[in-house]
């Protein structure tokens, strides 16, 4: 099967649906993680079953919203958490501020962040993310 040709023929809406499909064919995964549309990568990045290499690609994405999607994950490496804590974008720091993987030093750094919303989020403490799935869709991080 020529996954790339099939994928290129899909509309953005079809790609978004594919990104959340329960029975996602493994041949589409590398195409979803590199899609030209951030929205498709955001949908894909919410999947609970992302592989380590997929998370690694998405956490480095130039689009802040794609990175924010990853900041909510509880399966990040220590290096990925540190990257989010030090990110230039306060929105990303806001979302990592409640991650259960933060070290005490990272939480302290965020409690002293220049952005008041980041400080507020860090002050609330860690928050476990829940998983949910709609009928016909993969389990996603909420």
Residue 17: CATH number of its domain: 1.25.10.10
The pLDDT value given to residue 11: 97
78: left (phi over 0), alpha (psi -120 to 50) or beta: alpha
Low-confidence ranges of the chain (pLDDT < 50): none
> Structural domain of residue 126, as residue ranges?
3-141
Number of domains in the chain: 1
Question: CA of 96: how far to CAs of 6, 14, 66, in Å?
Answer: 36, 30, 13
Q: What does the pLDDT read at residue 142?
A: 85
Question: What's the whole-model pTM score?
Answer: 0.91
- Enumerate the H helices of 36-89 as residue ranges: 38-45, 52-59, 64-71, 78-85
């Amino acid at each position: 099967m020529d996954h790339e040709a099939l994928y290129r023929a899909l509309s953005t809406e079809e790609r978004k649906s594919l990104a959340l499909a329960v029975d996602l064919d493994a041949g589409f995964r590398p195409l979803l993680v590199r899609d030209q549309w951030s929205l498709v990568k955001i949908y894909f990045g919410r999947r609970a079953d992302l592989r380590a290499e997929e998370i690694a690609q998405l956490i480095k994405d130039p689009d802040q919203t794609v990175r924010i999607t990853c900041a909510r994950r509880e399966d990040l490496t220590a290096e990925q958490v540190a990257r989010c804590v030090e990110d230039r974008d306060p929105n990303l720091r806001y979302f990592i501020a409640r991650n259960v993987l933060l070290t005490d030093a990272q939480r302290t750094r965020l409690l002293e962040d220049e952005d008041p919303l980041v400080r507020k989020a860090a002050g609330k403490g860690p928050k476990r993310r829940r998983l949910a799935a709609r009928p016909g869709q993969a389990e996603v991080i909420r």
